Amino acid sequence: MITEPQSTRPAVRGGARLRYALAPEHGTRLMGQWVRPPLHMTKAYHDKDWAVSILTSPTAGLLDGDLLELDVQVCDGARAGLVSPAACRIHTMDTGFASVEQKFTVGENAVLDVWPAPLILQKDASLQQTTRLEVAESSTVLLCEVVNPGRAAYGESFEFARWASSLRIVRAGQLVAYENFQLFPAKGDAADWRALYPNGSYAGIYYLTPQPLEDLVQQLHQLELEDVSIGASPLRAGGLGIKVLAQDGISLRKAIFLVRNLLVPHSQVEFPVALQRAQTFFN
């Protein structure tokens, strides 16, 4: 039984609401924003008609009762990138859980690239996460999630209490992907993951595109990497779901780069160099 968040400290409940729109003769601009701790956002910079925002957490991480909320709208024709250079730690909790709630809305002929730093699930941490993505049929999205099952430097591995995740992707009004799971390592829920890579890192990548997939799944399965397992499957319409397990953060970083090096050219969208060579956060 999961109890509601309980804590003697005031909960931190914040995040960001961002709206990107295409400005005539200027490319994409951040037209509306609301940001509150535990998030901080640097000023958006612009490259190749894109607006790229860097999100960081000025706090130590999330504790029980904390809420991190992200609501992003990319209007018709706009191109936006969201990156974070520092990991988000989900700290030890005696009771309760922390929450991460994300919603992304992407308009016609728009592009969104979301590539965050890892969520680190520390010992006895409990995280409840929801992600909602609504995508127009003509839009392109690269949505990446990275999770580390403990602090490797401290010898932690799958000692977190619970990770619950719910993800829903709707494309042109049609549900194309739905995930809903809970992992309790103490109950053996992560046994297959741990058996393959005892300290392994995880990445989930969703790619939505109006382009025909052709042999893209086969190309992804043919990637040759040591200490990495990659699985890819088509969504119900216009995209792929990709799962990556790796022995450690360095191996995972290499794998994500290789995957992106296939997906970005396939999208026929010109990505800024800064987004092509991010990230540097893996240990």
Query: pLDDT tens across 150-185, in order?
Result: 987 788 899 999 999 999 999 999 999 999 999 999
Length of the chain: 283
Mean pLDDT of 243-264: 92
Cis, bond preceding 38 (omega within 30 deg of 0): yes
Residue 70's pLDDT band (boundaries 50, 70, 90)?
very high
What does R_g of the chain's alpha carbons equal in angstroms? 18
Q: Phi and psi of 271, rounded to 5°? A: -90, 145
Q: How far is CA 185 from the centre of its chain?
A: 22
Q: Is beta strand 50-56 parallel, antiparallel or unpaired with respect to 201-208?
A: unpaired
Q: Report, as an integer, the average pLDDT of 135-139.
A: 97
- pLDDT for position 13: 84
Section 66-73 average pLDDT:
94
- Token output for 94: 């005696």
**Residue 34, strand partner residues:** 17
What is the model's pLDDT at position 167?
97
Position 61 confidence tier, pLDDT thresholds 50, 70, 90: confident
Neighbours of 239 (CB within 10 A): 23
129 residue type, one letter: Q
pLDDT, tens only, 81-131: 998 877 788 999 988 999 999 999 999 999 999 998 889 999 999 999 999
pLDDT of residue 58: 63
Q: What does pTM read for this prediction?
A: 0.92
